């Protein structure tokens, strides 16, 4: 998680940003958010927001469920990246 250079390389080869893993059914954006919020399990690398911004920038959709558990005080950086995308997606509908 937090592997922004890997994401960039995979996208160069047209990797599917909506592909879900077999075990947990998470997308790459789901995993970037998970890595950011579970610092008790995985150390925050501070690369997850970069990954999230990159994935959102290439069209990965953001849902309310993805950010529902984020704490504005602790997760402000991730929220700053993700919240505007929910607003834009609502406008597009």
State the pLDDT confidence band at 74, using cuts at 50, 70 and 90.
Answer: confident
* Dihedral angle of Cα 78, 26, 86, 37, to the nearest 10 degrees: -20
When comparing pLDDT for 5 and 80, which is higher?
80
H-only helix segments in 1-93: 4-12, 28-37, 48-57, 64-67, 76-92
Q: What is the pTM of this model?
A: 0.80
Task: For 6-61, write each residue's pLDDT tens digit.
Answer: 888 888 899 999 999 999 999 999 988 988 887 655 555 568 888 899 999 999 99
What is the arithmetic mean of pLDDT over 1-9?
76
Contacts of 72 (CB under 8 A, 6+ apart): 79
What's residue 37's pLDDT? Answer: 82
């Amino acid at each position: 998680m937090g592997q922004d250079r890997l994401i960039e390389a995979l996208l160069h080869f047209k990797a599917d940003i909506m592909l879900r893993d077999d075990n947990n059914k998470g997308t790459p954006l789901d995993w970037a958010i998970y890595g950011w919020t579970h610092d008790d399990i995985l150390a925050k690398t501070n690369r997850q927001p970069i990954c999230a911004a990159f994935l959102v920038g290439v069209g990965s959709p953001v849902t309310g469920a993805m950010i529902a558990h984020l704490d504005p005080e602790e997760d402000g950086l991730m929220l700053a990246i993700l919240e505007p995308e929910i607003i834009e997606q609502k406008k597009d509908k």
